[in-house]
Amino acid sequence: MKEVPIEEAIAAQRPEWIGLIVSRRSDGYVNMMPAGWVMRASVAPPMFATAIERGHFTNELIRQAGEFVIAFPSQGMGEAISFCGSRSGRDVDKVAGAGLRLSPAKQIKTPLLADANANLECRLACTTETGDHTIFVGEVVAAHLGDHAGPLVNFGALGYALARPVAGTLYLPSPA
């Protein structure tokens, strides 16, 4: 093993899961931001976390609304992810610009991404400030599966691809 620059080692962890963080302003305006930093944070109660840079519009909206949706994109949504990740919701309506469709959530006001592989409705449980990001932990209050192939994973400069299990490598832990 050799020592390398930190960024080189971090880039080696790809592919990574990609989520679209859906947030909503009090007037109903909906914003969408791709995030690679999405993870499960608790089984009981079910919780997911995402890290969002402090200056980002999504950070502001989640703080205001106290809720968000994590949508796991489906096959064919690579262009929409790139569009949403290269613009600020302060300047452009990313939902309209990317041609995304929304549908009502069941437990929160923030809508679901209609064509996603899966959507998790999250109520903000807590935040933690870490360097230049805020970690938002949301309790999952409702979950939805679509009928579109997915989820996508992020390969960095190589784009996005459908996550697929590799034959013969499925790991199922034994019960504790």
Domain presence at residue 151: yes
Is residue 120 within 8 A of residue 143, CB to CB? The reply is: yes
- What token pair was written down for 64? 């205001």
Per-residue pLDDT, averaged over 66-87, amounts to: 91
Q: What is the pLDDT of residues 42-51, one digit of tens each?
A: 999 999 999 9
Split at pLDDT 50, 70, 90, the class of 168 is low
Domain boundaries, position 66: 6-162
Per-residue pLDDT, averaged over 4-32, amounts to: 89
Is the pLDDT at 167 greater than 90, yes or no?
no
Q: How many structural domains does the chain have?
A: 1
Domain presence at residue 21: yes
Read off the CATH number of the domain in which 28 is found: 2.30.110.10
Domain presence at residue 53: yes
Per-residue pLDDT, averaged over 7-23, amounts to: 85
Domain presence at residue 167: no
Per-residue pLDDT, averaged over 93-98, amounts to: 96
Domain presence at residue 1: no
Split at pLDDT 50, 70, 90, the class of 140 is very high
Domain presence at residue 172: no
Angstrom distance (rounded) from CA 110 to CA 102: 10
Domain presence at residue 92: yes
Closest among 168, 170, 169, 151 to 160, alpha carbons compared: 151
